[in-house]
Amino acid sequence: MLETELFVAADRLPGAVPAYSARLEPAALRPACEQARADGARLVALWGSDETPRGRGFALHVALAVPVGLVWLTVPLPVEHPRYPCIADLFPSAARMQRAAYDLLGVHADESADHRKWLRHGAWPGGTFPLRKDFDAAKKFPLTEDRYPFVKVEGEGVHEIPVGPVHAGTIEPGHFRFSIVGEKILRLEERLGYKHKGIEKRFESMTLAEGARLAGRVSGDSTVAFAWAYAMAVEGASGTETPPRAAALRGCLLELERIANHLGDLGYLGNDVSLSFGFFQFWRLKEDLLRANDATFGHRYLMDLIVPGGVARDLAADNAARLIAILDRIESEVRQLRSIYDEHAGVQDRFMTTGAITADLAARMGLTGFAARASGIRQDLRVDHPVAPYESMEIRIAVQEAGDVAARVAARFDELFESTRVLRRLLARLPEGPIQSDVALPSAGRTGVGWVEGWRGEVLVALDAAADGRIHRLHPHDPSWQNWPLLERAVLGNIVPDFPLINKSFNLSYSGQDL
């Protein structure tokens, strides 16, 4: 039973995720979102779809996290002038999602305060919408001039610093426009979208089996999270049960991915405060783990291991024992390194009070993942809505209160140790049995949802199946959508040299939200 009367008509979606679907007319969307917001709901994702082949025009989709799970709202829109009420004032992270939905599909948010293009960048002309079914994906367009209207900050002594989109290192492209006085940051405005790869369009030409490989490549550092969410969506749409051994192995893979990313970022954070010792030590440990992944599962970054129906590779008992031994050694060394970070006066001077996000701001703007937990927000899908194998793991949520770089570093340490504990428990008691189930082809129009607590935050995959085992529409959603706007707020009042440190403390994905 959903807690708000606005959703009493919602249907329970099949699958492991506690998810519900409901259809609303455009006029009912805003009252529903107002009620949901008042009840503490969070926006998980907003996207659009072209339903004209089914004779239904277009549709807007909104996924909300509510106390009982996930609510997937579908709002039908007409073919001519598809419009819907803006909800960005209720859920601030919706602003960029609404802009992206227009750039890709041409569905318009009425009364939005920001109608600037988000993804188009001159790569395709205005009035052309790549996610419409009649769009020719092979067609090429001449690159047009792109003059993006950044917000200007004026006043005595105010200067602008443009950074990117091409950076000096190997990171992905993104533009950051700083307005400063001296070294103090008055405003930061981001512009992303330079990594747009047409992934959502590519899904529409694929079978469900083919889509599994692409899902694992939406964001390379979250391959396990996206592959699992995709598999959950397909399994829900097809009515497939995952074998217990496969579910346990999925949990192992996700926690290994979490540990690897925290190890790497803890090294980078040391490097950003001139503690190169920390950088080399953490990256040595990350390399040890990646080699163990390769030896145990056949891939350093664990790609293509989670498939609809289960997992593609089993784990022998002797390999499990060796992996536990490696994790024991890594944990022991990380505990020593944590004491060095905690007791190093120069490190703590740079970490503490830098890039702080209050719990109130985090809640209002929809911060998610470990960054939210570092600001005192107790939310983790492994605890709030656990699926196998997490329902018996008793996950300890790593919560900090200060919301600054130091808190985000502490949260990473705590999560790394918790993931190690969970892995030991999973590896020591892997269930016997098969690692895959047969996956039936869902009928056209069947939907499924995957919702996974990845290392960065909650990953969503929403699937709408077509006939003959093909994909009508698939939306993969990275938590960076929610968290990028908070980075703009975290740097305010800080100095420009602290931006790389604050940025790395979040380590958000460029490609994961540029689909």
* pLDDT score for 408: 98
19-23 vs 69-77, strand pairing mode = parallel
Fold of 241-437: Cytochrome-c3 Hydrogenase; chain B (1.10.645)
* pLDDT score for 145: 82
Which pLDDT tens digits describe the chain residue by residue (515 residues)? 344 555 556 899 999 999 999 999 999 999 999 999 999 999 999 999 999 989 889 999 999 999 999 999 999 999 999 999 999 999 999 999 999 999 999 999 999 999 999 998 988 998 999 999 999 988 889 888 888 999 999 999 999 999 989 987 777 899 999 999 999 999 999 999 998 889 999 999 999 999 999 999 999 999 999 999 999 999 999 999 999 999 999 999 999 999 999 999 999 999 999 999 999 999 999 999 999 999 999 999 999 999 999 999 999 999 999 999 999 999 999 999 999 999 999 999 999 999 999 999 999 999 999 999 999 999 999 999 999 999 999 999 999 999 999 999 999 999 999 999 999 999 999 999 999 999 999 999 999 999 999 999 999 999 999 999 999 999 999 999 999 999 999 999 999 999 999 999 999 999 888 88
Look-up of token digits 């002797």? 318
306: Cβ–Cβ under 8 A, 6 or more apart, which residues? 212, 216, 224, 227, 228, 231, 250, 253, 312
* pLDDT score for 55: 87
Domain range 5-110, CATH class: alpha beta
Predicted confidence (pLDDT) per residue in 141-181, tens digit: 988 888 899 999 999 999 999 998 998 777 789 999 999 99
Look-up of token digits 């506690």? 18
Q: For residue 389, say if its preceding peptide bond is cis, omega within 30 degrees of 0.
A: yes
Task: Record the pTM.
Answer: 0.96
413: Cβ–Cβ under 8 A, 6 or more apart, which residues? 262, 266, 334, 338
The C-alpha atoms of residue 305 and residue 213 are separated, in whole angstroms, by 9
* pLDDT score for 7: 57
The C-alpha atoms of residue 9 and residue 116 are separated, in whole angstroms, by 36
* pLDDT score for 6: 52
Q: Per-domain residue ranges for the chain?
A: 5-110, 158-191, 203-239+439-472, 241-437
* pLDDT score for 2: 46
Closest C-alpha among 59, 49, 203, 204 to residue 129: 49
Q: For residue 442, say if its preceding peptide bond is cis, omega within 30 degrees of 0.
A: no
87: Cβ–Cβ under 8 A, 6 or more apart, which residues? 29, 30, 33, 43, 46, 62, 94, 98, 109
Closest C-alpha among 253, 258, 246, 328 to residue 298: 253
